[in-house]
Amino acid sequence: MKAKTKAVLISALLFPGLGHFVLKRAMRACLFIVPTLLAIGVLLRTTLALADQLVAEIQSGALPLDIPLIMERISAAGGDDTSTNVASLVIVVCWLGSILDAWWLERGK
């Protein structure tokens, strides 16, 4: 299998930017890996903050331990704020960009 094919598949299937290591382009890989990791951190922070809030409400008795009510509360929490939308967009752009960049780098070789 060609290095280009490996790089594209690794970037597409595992994590954005990892395929650049196959092409020996570590600095370029960091251009995709670092923003993706930061965006994942934002999404995790938002998700864990909501989970912590829900657990506190359940423990205090303000929210009964009823699945439909908890799901309704999650929907009402509005997890689609600007930071989560931007973080999701960064992940998608980095993922597609790393695939296209890995393909483009080895196109002429």
The 10s digit of each residue's pLDDT in 13-58 is 999 999 999 999 999 999 999 999 999 999 999 999 999 999 999 9
Helix intervals (H) in the chain? 3-13, 19-22, 26-60, 67-76, 82-105
Domain count, the chain: 1
The residue segments making up the domain with residue 56 are: 3-105
**Cβ atoms 88, 39 nearer than 8 A:** yes
CA dihedral 71, 75, 78, 80 (to 10 degrees): 100
pLDDT at 109: 58
Instruction: Look at residues 87, 90, 93, 98 and name the one whose alpha carbon lies nearest to residue 16.
Output: 98
pTM of the model: 0.83
